Amino acid sequence: MKMFDPHIHMTSRTTDDYQAMAAAGIAAIVEPSFWLGQPRTHVGTFEDYFLSLVGWERFRASQFGIRHFCTIGLNPKEANNPSVAPGVLELLPIYLEKDGVVAVGEIGFDDQTPAETKVLEQQMQLALDFGLPVLIHTPHRDKKAGTVRTISVVKASGIRPEMILIDHNTEETLPLTLDSGCWAGHSIYPDTKMDEARMVALVKKYGTRHIIVNSAADWGVSDPLKVPKTVTAMRAAGIADSDIETIVWSNPVSFFGQSGRLDLGKQPIDQTALWEGNSVLRGGQKPLVEPA
């Protein structure tokens, strides 16, 4: 089955991961911009990060036959840093116009501070200006209150709820998200957030409408194969293949397709190609080129 992982931070992952993901059926991914695990010290490092998301990382995915898209935004944690936040907000319009950028994100609440609220509202306005969907992160601490606040900001923004994906849902927040009319993402993690068995139970209870799953794999303990592993768990639990396909392909395609920038033609592998003179291959490796 062809699969889409609509939230994965490949910049922190290896070529082994790309190979395993492609072998498991992952044909397309969305990489949201986020923080680095430690605070950035100046605005320029955001700019190089955004450039790598639309450039090198997109190329790297293509070398394994995977379509790579990204979302651009000021992440919730660094919205609290007054030495970078205003400068990053000024940069965003340049990047929101680029090919392969399919939403504003991931934005939202972390500690639920006034600074986060202001930066979230400003970025929702950018989404309206650029006609882009929005990927919203919900906080790990006090998640239910954070989700309620997120939904009230969405309502006040004037953006249609169909243009919003609220991510990292749990049993507690999913009914709120679905009632709001927004799409509902679930990050399947080795230990926390959500796991395969709990996800199966949610699909049995709520069906497939507006339901999306992702690995949210990054530089921490996480697993880039959680989407295919969730497919296996859903099949074993007797969920129909057509419903599974809705969740792991059609739903993310419908949501991010609203950007008008989701080119999903097969990504042909050509490892003789270079990006600014650079290749993913090392000396002596034979490039893989798929027949046209």
From the list 121, 126, 131, 58, the residue with the least C-alpha distance to 91 is: 126
Given a contact cutoff of 8 angstroms between Cβ atoms, the answer to whether 3 and 228 are in contact is yes
What's the per-residue H, E or C state across 48-64? HHHHHHHCHHHHHHHCC
Cβ neighbours of residue 217 under 8 Å, at least 6 residues apart?
8, 9, 12, 13, 17, 223, 224, 226
Total of residues contacting Zn ion (CB under 5 A): 2
The residue (of 54 and 280) whose beta carbon lies closer to Zn ion is 54
Least distance to Zn ion from the beta carbon of 265, Å? 26
Site string for Zn ion, 160-199 (x = CB under 5 A): ----------------------------------------
Distances (CA, A) of 194 to 55, 65, 185, 216: 31, 28, 11, 11
Q: Which stretch binds Zn ion (CB under 5 A): 11-19, 29-37, 53-61, 190-198?
A: 29-37
State how far the Cα of 147 lies from the Cα of 169, in Å rounded to an integer. 9
Length of the chain: 292
The residue (of 34 and 249) whose beta carbon lies closer to Zn ion is 34
Least distance to Zn ion from the beta carbon of 194, Å? 14
Least distance to Zn ion from the beta carbon of 142, Å? 18
Q: Which stretch binds Zn ion (CB under 5 A): 33-41, 50-58, 112-120, 239-247?
A: 33-41
> If you search the block for the tokens 């609203």, which residue do you land on?
258
Q: Scanning residues 244 to 283, which ones bind Zn ion (CB under 5 A)?
A: none
Least distance to Zn ion from the beta carbon of 240, Å? 29
Distances (CA, A) of 238 to 37, 50, 129, 151, 235: 39, 41, 43, 33, 5
The residue (of 199 and 216) whose beta carbon lies closer to Zn ion is 216
Given a contact cutoff of 8 angstroms between Cβ atoms, the answer to whether 131 and 102 are in contact is no
Q: Which stretch binds Zn ion (CB under 5 A): 30-38, 49-57, 84-92, 156-164?
A: 30-38
The residue (of 217 and 280) whose beta carbon lies closer to Zn ion is 217
| Structure-token pair, residue 129 | 């200006």
Q: Scanning residues 202 to 221, which ones bind Zn ion (CB under 5 A)?
A: 216
Q: Scanning residues 71 to 110, which ones bind Zn ion (CB under 5 A)?
A: none
The residue (of 4 and 34) whose beta carbon lies closer to Zn ion is 34
The residue (of 167 and 196) whose beta carbon lies closer to Zn ion is 167
CA dihedral sign of residues 201, 205, 207, 212: negative
Least distance to Zn ion from the beta carbon of 216, Å? 5
The residue (of 105 and 228) whose beta carbon lies closer to Zn ion is 105
Binding site for Zn ion (CB under 5 A): 34, 216
